[in-house]
Structure 1
Amino acid sequence: MPCFLLFTNLQASAIPKGFLMETSTVIAKAIRKPEIYVTVRIHPDQMMSHGGTTDPCANSELQSIGNMGNEENIQMSKEISEFLQQKLGIDPKRNYIKFTNMKPLEVGFDGTTFEVLWK
């Protein structure tokens, strides 16, 4: 159930064609889960500043059930930051990534929760 949210002050027109689906693939690989469960939400055109400027920046969050811990998060931070720099030109120092490790009972899917589905 990984969900990646990206908020950026870049205009929608600056988001490259195919970026949404490329991001889905990158997140699935980084979190080590099947892409069929990955959700990506891109929020361009945000009124944002970072570090006292309105230069290109982002704020992102990766939510998942498991596959998160300090070492995993460090690796994912590196992979996601490099991807955003390559595709959007966002300096890794201008994006915070919040990692949220959710409990199966906190995530609903198909009329139930993953807590029930995984029993």
Structure 2
Amino acid sequence: MPCFILFTNVATSDLPKRFLFETSKIIAKAIRKPESLNVVEVRIHPGQMMTHGGTTEPCANSELQAIGHISAEENIQMSKEISEFLQQKLGIDPSRNYIKFTDMKPYELGCEGTTIEVLWSKQT
């Protein structure tokens, strides 16, 4: 499940060619979930009308939603990895991106016409 949602004022035309796929890989690595098992979702919303600190220099607002792996200690490391990635790829200074970490419960996520909680209970 993790889902990473990025809103940025960086224009679509300024995104690196494989930015979506590179973002998926960095999120899978940061949250320690396998990208290949259809569990990592990334949504990029470029070209947003945004200011941060009163300027329109490159900035972002993002959210990482996951079931587990969201904790005070883990969030620090994930924030570092995500911020460094966005600085390298989009030129967004780490001080110009807020990341909201949301720890979801299995019953809060629907999938396959039911919830993750029900799907997981069927696997045991």
**C-alpha deviation, 1:78, in angstroms:** 0.2
5+ long unaligned stretches in structure 2? none
Query: Could you give the per-residue CA deviations for residues 22-61 of structure 1, whole angstroms, max 9, x where no partner exists?
Result: 0000000100111130000000110000011111100000
- Name the SS for the 1:100 alignment partner: strand
The equivalent of 1:29 in structure 2 is 29
Deviating above 6 A after TM superposition, structure 1's stretches of 4 or more consecutive aligned residues are: none
Q: Which amino acid is the alignment partner of residue 94 of structure 1?
A: R
The equivalent of 1:60 in structure 2 is 62
Which of 42, 45, 67 is matched with 2:47 structurally?
45
The equivalent of 1:9 in structure 2 is 9
**C-alpha deviation, 1:111, in angstroms:** 1.2
Q: Distance in 2 between matches of 1:106 and 1:29?
A: 23
The equivalent of 2:18 in structure 1 is 18
Q: Distance in 1 between matches of 2:34 and 2:65?
A: 14
Percent of aligned pairs sharing the same letter: 76
With normalisation by structure 1, the TM-score equals 0.98
The equivalent of 2:76 in structure 1 is 74
Q: Distance in 2 between matches of 1:40 and 1:34?
A: 14
Q: Distance in 2 between matches of 1:47 and 1:106?
A: 30
The equivalent of 2:108 in structure 1 is 106
Q: Distance in 2 between matches of 1:34 and 1:112?
A: 22
Please, what is the CA RMSD of the aligned residues? 0.6
